[in-house]
Amino acid sequence: MVIDCKAISQAKRDAIKRKAAELDITPTLAVILAVDDPASRVYVRNKRRACEEVGFGFEMYSDINAVGELVTQQDVHGVLVQLPLPSDIDTNKVIAQIPPEKDVDALTATNLGRLVLGAYDFAPCTPSGIMTILDNVCGSVSGANCVVIGRSNIVGKPMSIMLTQKNATVTLCHSHTEDLAGITSRADILISAVGKAGFVTANMVKQDTIVIDVGINRNREGKLVGDVCFDDVVRKADAITPVPGGVGIMTVTSLLENTLKAAELAVGKR
């Protein structure tokens, strides 16, 4: 089964739109796009369109110094710095300026700490979107053997924490992992966030696994593909997310959810 992430996302967005319409304020997201990179421009455009779809306000800035002012503006509920930043800018320092209640990407030390403690309003958008997919596909992950490839702060690490909190048994793999195929081929749920086209081949996947492909890559023909050799793995997997039209959509939908929560927090509705 190819997982219909568009349908899962649409149901969520419809609910977000209804809840936003019940507020006396317009939930508003500000995005700082400080690097002129084609991929980042596309991601920001998708965020703008999604905000428009659910009736949110959207503001865009190109100056990284805007962060300091945006965090004080009452009519801006969520502040997101589009990553990666240019190498001469200290990403951690910039993120640290965002107060936790406006940190809709959930990347501040406070929000990541709260995530580890299990008491949080905001979770990072990609793992959050993946949890929604898994909720829809398998209901519970309790007791499942989950393997995550990639240990970035935005995907792999928080993903492993969120799965653990839902009682999955998690193995977090990275470039130093030995016998990767041996580990992945025991996974009930395999999540790949590596960033290499064709990285997960059919021999790395056991029969009837759920495969979540986070990767966004261009193949030699310039086509957008994930990390997984989709045409081979789809025959073996019980369920698999497509690229495009998979985790990426859910990531943006989670961002909308977090922005709605930020607006609700601002008016004391949470």
Q: Catalytic residue positions? A: 47, 82, 105
Min CB(24)–ligand NDP separation in Å:
32
Least distance between ligand NDP and beta carbon 47 (Å):
11
Report which secondary-structure segment, H or E, holds 249.
helix 247-266
**What single-letter amino acid sits at 29?**
L
- Residues of the shown chain interacting with ligand NDP in the complex, contacts defined by CB under 6 A: 126, 149-152, 154-156, 173-177, 180, 193-195, 214-217, 247-248, 251
Strand order in the sheet with 57-61: 57-61, 28-32, 78-81
Closer residue to ligand NDP, CB minimum distance, 24 or 178: 178
Q: Where are the beta strands (DSSP E) in 214-269?
A: 217-218, 224-225, 239-240
CB of 226 to ligand NDP, least distance (A): 8
Q: How far is CA 225 from CA 176, 184, 189, 216, 247, in A?
A: 24, 20, 20, 6, 12
> What Cα–Cα distance (Å) separates residue 85 from each residue in 68, 77, 94, 113?
16, 22, 10, 23
**141/165 Cα distance (integer angstroms):** 10
Cβ 213 to ligand NDP shortest distance, Å: 8
Smallest distance, ligand NDP to C-beta of residue 83, A:
8
Q: Tell me the sheet residues that pair with 200.
A: 228
E strand spans, the chain:
28-32, 57-61, 78-81, 145-149, 169-173, 189-192, 210-213, 217-218, 224-225, 239-240
Complex with ligand NDP: residue 129 or 266, whichever CB lies closer: 129
Phi first, then psi: give them for residue 150, nearest 5 degrees.
Answer: 110, 135
Q: Whose Cβ is closer to ligand NDP: residue 22's or residue 179's?
A: 179
